[in-house]
Amino acid sequence: MKNLKIINVRFFAQTSSVLRMTGRELMKKKFSVVGTNVIREDGFDKVTGRAKFADDYKFDGMLHAVMLRIPETHAKINSINYLEIENDASIISIITSADIPGSKKVGMIKNDQPIFCDEVVVTPGDVLAMLVGEDVSRLRSALSKIKIDFSPLPVLTDPKKSLEPDAILIHPELGSNLIIHHPLRKGNIEKGFDESDQIIEQTYTTQLIEHAYIEPEAVIAIPLGVNGVKIIGSIQNPFSARRIIAAVVNLPLDKVQVIQAQLGGSFGGKDDIMCILSARAAVAAIKVNRPVKIRYTREESILESYKRHPYILNYKVGFTNSGKIKAMKIDILADGGAYCSMSPFVTWRSVVQATGPYEVENVHTDVRAVYTNNPYTGAMRGFGSPQPIFANESLMDEIALKLGITPYEVRKINGLKAGSITATGQKLQNHDVNLLTVLNVAAKDTDFLNKWKKYKKDKSIVKKYDFTKSVFNDSQFIEPDQLIKKGIGLAVSYRGCSLGAEGIDAAACYLSFQNDGTAYLLSGLAENGQGLRTTFSIIVAEELGITTDNIFYLETDTSRVPDSGPTVASRATLMGGGAVKNAAEILRGRFEELIQEEWKLKSEDEIVFRDNKILTTDNRSLITFKDLCKLAASRGINLSTIGWYKSPNVDWDEHTGQGDAYFTYVYGCQIAEVSVNLGTGEVYLDKITAVHDPGTVINKLGAEGQVYGGVTQGAGYGMLEEVTTENGLIRELNFDQYLILTAKDIGEIKPIFVEGKEIYGPWGAKSLGEPTLELTAAAISNAVSNATGNRFFNLPLNLEEVLLGKKLRPVEVKRGSLR
């Protein structure tokens, strides 16, 4: 990450129907804080070890809970016999499903996941019961004394077999292994193929991956007697957790208080799992009437937590000889694993975006998610976009190669523009449709066309090896100066912002000024490590002309601020930021009214809030902000408010997959420059240029951080990361085997922001977190293809995939060093 130079390009809307911006905002050309580099308010605490994570909390009389599991993928539990530990003094309580006062099964969308699986185990992470006591190591040794009588059931691990008529059912009561089916029908697919000169059909696969947050799961439940229960945890979405806990312990929402500890990473991964762990801890704490902590080891974390969906993607695309896409038929199968979790929403984003950011008249898409006995899959940064992007962006390069044009041209011909109609029939308007802009900026900045042509291979230059003959023949040796080959590849995407038709989309914030000019700020959306608190503080500071150090961001607590939905879908800056701006505007209005009265200003006089002062347009200083607060307080003016931001309506027809899926979109283009070692299949990342239109950038430092992190994660997805299973059992249970990229594996990352105009969000700020990750794997794959002349259809492009075109799997699940 050597290159910190950011190029800010502002492009203005061709269609300037500006809805929510006031005249003053349009006139205001310069921001004072927005768009500058602001250091995260939690940064120092985190790098100096002062930050308090969930496991750092300890309470008098606190107990620990450990989980009872069996190393089985699918089994009927006949009986569990606790006789041998009944008199064990180290065990204060055995917590089973019988202790649950409320819902025994929960879920984000479908209630199919038991808190304790005492009847049947459908995946190896399942927990049968829990032991509670003071000493974790004694509890763990007691686990082995519990006698579990179970009958193994047939195991279903291949999602392709899930819907076969004789497939075993993971949840027999549901009658089918189909979790969800999203169809999309636009135009006439047969006609589209008839009008095509050429057709390509291709299958792509993507792998199961782990979020790999640095902090494993941890949560503490504290019983409050008649006041219910308090939860402190490493929780991504405190309000989702509250809903699930309340259902499980059978308490009203106001009796379940969820406090978010500092979060050591989440990436979408501390949602369902933390809801369930919190519920287990709450059940135990209420039963034994003492605080109970659950803290996972890395192995337990990887074993039980949900992951990213592996996809099998079949694409058929028809296009004319001039490069215009006429029809796309897409069939996607997602492995949801043992539980529904977020599969319906994850795959919904896939159905909306599966064609990629292109104008396609005739589209016929089916996306299905199915149950298997594999580890369950749910939300992960990207959320149903990295998989189709890998497929459709590989396909675009294939079309280009077939037609003898460049990847740039094929995207230019088909890319979405202002007024384009998307696959869901939505007309893109009211914002800068910057797809071709980001493409142009990226191509120019990297000299893409020249490099692409120079590196391009007409056929594969990867040597073929005959495995049965151990010894090389002469022609298989690579001349030393031919060992390393360079390549360049690009990928573009559009991404619907926020939840879209997934559900109600609104957010709140609490803002309260004190009479000395300082303020408390709290959003209903949660800090997940992305720097949200700082972004929100900047918004208040900008609106009221103060500095961020006057703003104290409160601890996230469900009892202090309205439910704002989950912190997901790259919606925090857009929705939460909108609410913060609304709160600041409300208070600013009250201040302006007071100033007008106090200084007898005319109604057309403008009041400027700048540099902790209040000024008139002719730069006359009226009062400091601090004194203004004091004055306002003395006049009995309410200096506190709840801000609110609700998204405009979207609509969706689930039978045809047509509608205005999201109220706005962001656009991105990433270009990967790689060197490929033809002897080993190693791919070295020389440089990734990431051009994104996130709307207005609020915190430049934060935005760059999103790009560095997202690209690194996306590159790991593209080249290395993979959770593999043997009969449903995970092989890689810790970071000695589950490999993610290190700082040494990443070359230069160059973020470039194109700040398109947008009518929604604070000053038109939209989304960036997920777009940064979703493109990288596809760009790298295209670059490796450019370098080698080989195309890749299966992620990740690890050593074996690049060299042999396939994956090799160890036979043993066990680590070698355990012999």
The distance of closest approach from Cβ of residue 799 to another protein in the complex, given in angstroms and rounded to an integer, is: 7
How many binding residues for another protein (CB under 8 A)?
42
Q: Is there binding between residue 742 and another protein (CB under 8 A)?
A: yes
Paired tokens of 619: 């730069």
Residue 88 vs 592, nearer CB to another protein? 88
Q: Is there binding between residue 804 and another protein (CB under 8 A)?
A: yes
Q: Is there binding between residue 49 and another protein (CB under 8 A)?
A: no
Span from 274-282, 644-652, 739-747, 781-789 in contact with another protein (CB under 8 A): 739-747
Residue 448: exposed, middle, or buried by beta-carbon count in 10 A (0-12, 13-18, 19+)? buried
Among 739, 789, 791, 805, which residue interacts with another protein (rule: CB under 8 A)? 739
Among 44, 152, 477, 503, which residue interacts with another protein (rule: CB under 8 A)? 477
Residue 572 vs 683, nearer CB to another protein? 683
Q: Is there binding between residue 800 and another protein (CB under 8 A)?
A: yes
Return the DSSP state at 234.
-
The distance of closest approach from Cβ of residue 304 to another protein in the complex, given in angstroms and rounded to an integer, is: 18
The distance of closest approach from Cβ of residue 4 to another protein in the complex, given in angstroms and rounded to an integer, is: 22
Tell me if 301 sits within 8 A of 136, measured CB to CB.
Answer: no
Which residues neighbour 780 within 8 Å (Cβ) at sequence distance 6 or greater?
A: 489, 672, 674, 683, 685, 715, 718, 719, 797
Tell me if 555 sits within 8 A of 259, measured CB to CB.
Answer: yes
Q: Specify the pairing of strand 325-337 against strand 621-624.
A: unpaired
Among 17, 322, 619, 817, which residue interacts with another protein (rule: CB under 8 A)? 817
- Listed in order, strand segments (DSSP E) in 5-71 are 7-10, 63-68
The distance of closest approach from Cβ of residue 717 to another protein in the complex, given in angstroms and rounded to an integer, is: 14
Residue 87: exposed, middle, or buried by beta-carbon count in 10 A (0-12, 13-18, 19+)? exposed
Among 10, 52, 444, 463, which residue interacts with another protein (rule: CB under 8 A)? 463
Among 166, 173, 474, 618, which residue interacts with another protein (rule: CB under 8 A)? 474
- Between CA 739 and CA 736 the distance in angstroms is 7
Q: Is there binding between residue 797 and another protein (CB under 8 A)?
A: no
The number of helices, as runs of H, and strands, as runs of E, in the chain is: 19, 31
Q: Is there binding between residue 285 and another protein (CB under 8 A)?
A: no
Q: Which amino acid is at 67?
A: M
Among 98, 188, 470, 697, which residue interacts with another protein (rule: CB under 8 A)? 470
- DSSP string across 563-612: ----S-TT-IIIIIHHHHHHHHHHHHHHHHHHHHHHTT--TT--EEEETT
- Listed in order, strand segments (DSSP E) in 683-776 are 683-693, 725-726, 729-730, 748-755
Bridge partners, residue 291, by sequence:
none
Q: Which residue has the tokens 């998989």?
A: 387
Span from 210-218, 358-366, 381-389, 743-751 in contact with another protein (CB under 8 A): 743-751
Q: Is there binding between residue 799 and another protein (CB under 8 A)?
A: yes
Residue 114 vs 681, nearer CB to another protein? 681
Q: Is there binding between residue 639 and another protein (CB under 8 A)?
A: no
- Between CA 405 and CA 589 the distance in angstroms is 56
Q: Is there binding between residue 140 and another protein (CB under 8 A)?
A: yes
Residue 44 vs 472, nearer CB to another protein? 472
The distance of closest approach from Cβ of residue 731 to another protein in the complex, given in angstroms and rounded to an integer, is: 12
Q: Is there binding between residue 813 and another protein (CB under 8 A)?
A: no
Neighbours of 79 (CB within 10 A): 9
Residue 12 vs 467, nearer CB to another protein? 467
Residue 359 vs 745, nearer CB to another protein? 745
Q: Is there binding between residue 2 and another protein (CB under 8 A)?
A: no
Span from 23-31, 459-467, 552-560, 763-771 in contact with another protein (CB under 8 A): 459-467
Question: Which residues in 746-775 are b (16+ Cβ under 10 Å) and which e?
Answer: bbebbbbbbbbbbbbbbbbbbbbbbbbbbb
Residue 348: exposed, middle, or buried by beta-carbon count in 10 A (0-12, 13-18, 19+)? buried
Q: Is there binding between residue 461 and another protein (CB under 8 A)?
A: no
- Between CA 807 and CA 792 the distance in angstroms is 12
Residue 449: exposed, middle, or buried by beta-carbon count in 10 A (0-12, 13-18, 19+)? middle
Q: Is there binding between residue 483 and another protein (CB under 8 A)?
A: yes
Residue 421 vs 478, nearer CB to another protein? 478
Residue 478 vs 639, nearer CB to another protein? 478
Q: Is there binding between residue 47 and another protein (CB under 8 A)?
A: no
Q: Which residue has the tokens 């999602």?
A: 159
Among 49, 404, 480, 636, which residue interacts with another protein (rule: CB under 8 A)? 480
Q: Is there binding between residue 798 and another protein (CB under 8 A)?
A: yes
Q: Is there binding between residue 818 and another protein (CB under 8 A)?
A: yes
Tell me if 275 sits within 8 A of 131, measured CB to CB.
Answer: no
Give, for 258, the enclosing helix (H) or strand (E): strand 256-260
Among 175, 471, 619, 634, which residue interacts with another protein (rule: CB under 8 A)? 471
Residue 14 vs 476, nearer CB to another protein? 476
Residue 602 vs 819, nearer CB to another protein? 819
Among 478, 506, 633, 637, which residue interacts with another protein (rule: CB under 8 A)? 478
Span from 67-75, 252-260, 431-439, 740-748 in contact with another protein (CB under 8 A): 740-748
Among 3, 450, 460, 680, which residue interacts with another protein (rule: CB under 8 A)? 680
The separation between the first and the last C-alpha atoms of the chain, rounded to the nearest angstrom, is 40
Give, for 298, the enclosing helix (H) or strand (E): helix 298-304
Which residues neighbour 35 within 8 Å (Cβ) at sequence distance 6 or greater?
A: 8, 696, 697, 698, 700
Q: Is there binding between residue 803 and another protein (CB under 8 A)?
A: yes
Q: Is there binding between residue 1 and another protein (CB under 8 A)?
A: no
Among 22, 78, 81, 137, which residue interacts with another protein (rule: CB under 8 A)? 137
Q: Which amino acid is at 106?
A: V
Paired tokens of 680: 């080993």
Phi-psi region of 301 (alpha: psi -120 to 50; beta: other; left: phi over 0): alpha
Among 525, 569, 720, 773, which residue interacts with another protein (rule: CB under 8 A)? 720
Q: Is there binding between residue 465 and another protein (CB under 8 A)?
A: yes
Q: Is there binding between residue 736 and another protein (CB under 8 A)?
A: yes
Q: Between helices 435-446 and 448-455, what is the axis angle to 10°?
A: 60
- Between CA 786 and CA 779 the distance in angstroms is 10
Chain residues binding another protein by CB under 8 A are 137, 140-141, 463, 465, 467, 470-474, 476-478, 480, 483, 679-682, 720, 736, 739, 741-745, 798-800, 803-804, 808-811, 815-819
